[in-house]
A and B are shown apart, each in its own frame.
Chain A
Amino acid sequence: MSEMTPIRAINQALHDEMTRDGDVVVIGEDVAEGGPYGATRGLVDDFGRDRVRDTPISEGTVMGVAIGLALAGLRPVVEIMFIDFITLALDQLANQAAKARYMSGGQLRVPLVVRTQGGAGVRSGAQHSQSLEAWLAHVPGLAVAIPATAADAAGLLIAAIRTDDPVVLVENKAMYYRREEVPDPLAPVPLGTAAVRRSGRDVTVVATSRLVAESLAAADALAGEGIDVEVIDPRTIQPLDEETIVSSVARTGRCVIAHEAVRAFGVGAEIAAVVQERALDRLQAPVLRVGAPFAPVPTSAPLEDAYLVGREQVAAAVREAMRW
């Protein structure tokens, strides 16, 4: 093991994969300059401007070009600087990347990786802070990974690069600079496998991205109240590791789902539906969801703090589940 921030782990994973496979290319705005967070820093020095290709601010067409590269057999990793701007590339993602293999009866493959980041908490306002992963998970043909640790940010990226179908990785900007343990060397994390972050008997908390660490903090606090919380991180929301979630809830009888995205029509709703479909007879309490209020992300500090959900909301939901 070694210590690394998620952003450094992502950078190392890109470097490792580009070294391993000459077909891996990085493309996006400012990627040769390292990008605003440094995910692609230094790659151009080792791999040159053909493999680390800067683009104009044309997200839709850049996504389309990356899909073309993938159709031709390369393995592009396209960076969309903020997930808020993936809106501009949704046509390419949903209508071309996600459907090419299916519509062609399996003749075409699109080994495309999209790296992007979302999340609030850094006073960046409504157009640089969203959590839009649920949109992407709703499109058959796309895989959506949402890493919560440095090891997973790198490991899911490596697995995505080695996959022959499109994968979108939704990182979280607020977590980029935490120092964490990562395996040395970095290792792939298979898509569709959840991680049990903490074992517990009383309540299952299914949390994604930033809410994983928040849920673990809540679990520590709740342990003092005699509530034993299990925390599951799905790691990919599409495909979703239903087995791990359902078997946990079957043991605990209670389920809370926590994510940063707005609660309404979110990933939590899907997981809640899966749990009640598959484990209704084991449930001792309603499945509860923790998520943001149905509002854009405000910029001003007190407003954004009021918007964000965290350990307190998770703890409150767990206590609510325990009332039953």
Chain B
Amino acid sequence: MARHVEVSSDLARRLLATMWLCRAFEEKVSELIANNEISGLVHLAMGQEGTAAAIAAHLDDRDLMFSGHRAHGHALAKGADPSRVMAEIAGRATGLCRGKGGSMHLVDVAHGFLGATGVVGGNVPNALGVALAQKQRRTGRVTVVFFGDGAAQAGHFLESLNLASLWELPVVLVCENNGYAEFTPRSAHTRVERVATLATTYGIATETVEGNDALAVHRAAAPFIAAAREGKGPALLECLTYRMRGHYEGDAVKYRDAAELDVWKAKDPLRILERQAAEAGWFGDADARAIERSARARVDEAAAYALASPWPDAAWLMEDVR
């Protein structure tokens, strides 16, 4: 029992540290956009930090991860250097992708983060291919792909469910169901309430979990990731969560009301985890605030690094085309 408490406490600290890093990072990104120090199309995942932290906690650098357009947290959770992520979003030479990817196309091969994509669900098939390569080479590595509920209405997503199942691929499909596809609630796009039901049709193991409860996400993912590693095939984990910001920074969010946001603010994943830690006696508010302060300090450092970094050389325009 003592050991269980210790493990849980340690895990909760790790998850909270990652989640605060993601939160503080995106608050800083939002601030830098407001100050015109970051430009372009940027999608924030504030409110969804629990899934990124919980899933990544099961993986190491040799496991592979893909994500969509709301991917800052996934890259950070997978181990990407916050300074180089911030520099990439700011378009600087020191960014992960030398400024050629930006917010929607983060890639960090060294940490197994094979990429975010700006095409909704567009890299789910790529994740399957990477998983197929792992299976054929018997590496025991798992491939995770994050996507939103909006991706589940795309034809290639359903084709991917079929192939993941048919070939028993070592892939875990993680749906962050935040209830909105861009500006439109799920109910306006489909009569299928839960994305998990789509996967069930193909014989894929599924679970739907409260996505803002990071410990619950971590628990639910454990058997799926273990099964993938053991060659027992794919799974789909649907995490019910909420995007606290608009679809993109600058979105006036006229399509949802304040009351709905308040409901979800009360279910802020960071607060939930802090409350769980306090109730379990793992650690209290003082420790949580120390974790938060540390994350904010790391993010301040990342922002300073990014803004002090040089812009890419114009000659890079034609490099790496093919």
B104-153 interface with A by 8 A CB criterion: 105, 107-109, 114-115, 117-119, 122-134, 136
Within 8 A of B (CB), among A62-84: 62-74, 76
Which chain A positions have C-beta within 8 A of B119?
91, 95-96
Do A92 and B322 touch (CB < 8 A)? Answer: no
**Is B125 in contact with A65, judged by CB distance below 8 angstroms?**
yes
How far is B130's CA from A73's CA once the two chains are assembled, in angstroms? 9
Q: Which residues of B contact A2 (CB under 8 A)?
A: none
Please give, as numbers and ranges, the residues of chain B lying within 8 Å of A166 by CB-CB distance: 322
A interface size (C-beta, 8 A): 42
B185 within 8 A of A: no
Neighbouring A residues of B320 by C-beta, 8 Å: 101-102, 105-106
**Alpha-carbon separation in the docked complex, A58 to B129 (Å):** 14
Which of A101-122 touch B at CB < 8 Å? Answer: 101-108
Q: A55-B163, A105-B99, A107-B97 are in contact. Are A64 and B107 (CB under 8 A)?
A: no
Whether B277 sits at the interface, judged by CB under 8 Å, is no
Residue of B nearest to A108 (CB): B107
Instruction: Fill in one digit per residue for B85-116: 1 if any A CB lies within 8 Å of its CB, else 0.
Output: 00000000001111111000101110000110
Q: Which residue of B lies closest to A51 (CB)?
A: B136
Q: Give the residues in chain A near B297, CB-CB below 8 Å.
A: none
Within 8 A of B (CB), among A148-193: 165-166
CB-defined contacts of B159 to chain A, threshold 8 Å: 56, 58, 60-61
Complex CA gap A228/B5 in Å reads 89
Contact, CB under 8 Å: A68 / B101 = no
Q: Which of B95, B131, B136 contacts A105 (CB 8 A)?
A: B95
Also in contact, A69 and B133, with CB within 8 A (given A64-B126, A107-B107)? yes
Least CB separation from B137: chain A residue: A72
- Known contacts: A64-B123, A68-B128, A141-B322. The answer to whether A108 contacts B115 by CB under 8 A is yes
Enumerate chain A residues within 8 angstroms of B133, measured Cβ to Cβ.
Answer: 68-69, 72-74
Does A13 interact with chain B (Cβ within 8 Å)?
no
Between B119, B122, B322, the greatest number of chain A beta carbons within 10 A of the residue's beta carbon is seen for B322
Q: Is the CB of A64 within 8 A of B114?
A: no
> Does the CB pair B107–A58 fall under 8 Å?
no
Would you call B2 an interface residue if the criterion is a C-beta within 8 Å of the partner chain's C-beta atoms? no
Say whether, besides A50-B136, A66-B129, A104-B101, A165 and B115 are in contact (CB < 8 Å): no
Closest chain A residue to B119 by CB distance? A95
In angstroms, Cα B122 to Cα A72, docked, is: 17
Cβ–Cβ contact A108 & B322, under 8 A = no
Q: Does residue A142 face the partner (Cβ distance < 8 Å to B)?
A: yes
**Cα(A91)–Cα(B156), bound, Å:** 10
Whether the Cβ atoms of B322 and A103 lie closer than 8 Å is no
B319 sits at the interface (CB 8 A) = yes
Q: A61-B159, A61-B163, A72-B134 are in contact. Are A105 and B98 (CB under 8 A)?
A: yes
Q: Are A105 and B100 in contact (CB under 8 A)?
A: yes
User: What residues of chain B lie closer than 8 Å to A143, measured between beta carbons?
Assistant: 322
Closest CB in chain B relative to A162 CB, distance in Å: 14
Tell me the bound Cα distance from A106 to B320 in angstroms.
6
CB distance from B89 to the nearest CB of A (A): 13
Interface membership of A207, Cβ < 8 A: no
Q: Which residues of A contact B101 (CB under 8 A)?
A: 103-105
Contact of B281 with A by CB under 8 A:
no
Query: Does B208 lie at the interface of the complex (its beta carbon under 8 Å from any beta carbon of A)?
Result: no
Give chain A residues whose Cβ lies under 8 Å from the Cβ of B123: 64, 96
Verify B129–A108 contact, CB threshold 8 A.
no
Interchain CB contact under 8 A, B128 and A64: yes
A68 to B127, CA, bound (A): 6
Which residue in B122, B132, B155, B321 is a CB contact (below 8 Å) of A96?
A: B122
Q: Using an 8 Å CB-CB cutoff, how does the interface string of A124-149 with B read, 1 for contact, 0 for none?
A: 00000000000000001111000000
The reply on A290 being an interface residue by CB < 8 A is no
Point out the residues of chain A lying under 8 angstroms from B99, CB to CB: 105
Q: How far is the CA of A142 from the CA of B118 in the complex (A)?
A: 19
Rounded to whole angstroms, the CA-CA distance of A217 and B118 in the bound complex is 49
Q: Is B197 in the interface zone, CB < 8 Å from A?
A: no
Q: Residue B276 at the A interface, CB < 8 A? A: no
- Which of A50, A71, A101, A107 is the one whose CB lies under 8 Å from B129? A71
Contacts of A257 in B (CB 8 A): none
Is residue B294 contacting chain A, with contact meaning CB distance below 8 A?
no
A61 engages B156 (CB within 8 Å) = yes
**What residues on A are CB-neighbors of B64 within 8 Å?**
72
**Is B222 interfacial (CB-CB < 8 Å)?**
no
Q: Is the CB of A104 within 8 A of B105?
A: yes
CB neighbours (8 Å) of A65 from chain B are 125-126, 128-129, 132, 163
Chain A: minimal CB distance from B193 (Å): 24
Decide if B34 is an interface residue (CB 8 Å cutoff).
no
A-B contact pairs, 6 of them (CB 8 A): A65-B125, A68-B130, A68-B133, A73-B133, A104-B115, A141-B322
Closest to A69 in B: B129
User: Given known contacts A68-B125, A68-B126, is B115 in contact with A100 (CB within 8 Å)?
Assistant: yes
Task: Enumerate chain A residues within 8 angstroms of B131, measured Cβ to Cβ.
Answer: 68
Q: B residues within 8 A CB of A66?
A: 129
Report the bound CA distance from A108 to B96 in whole Å.
12
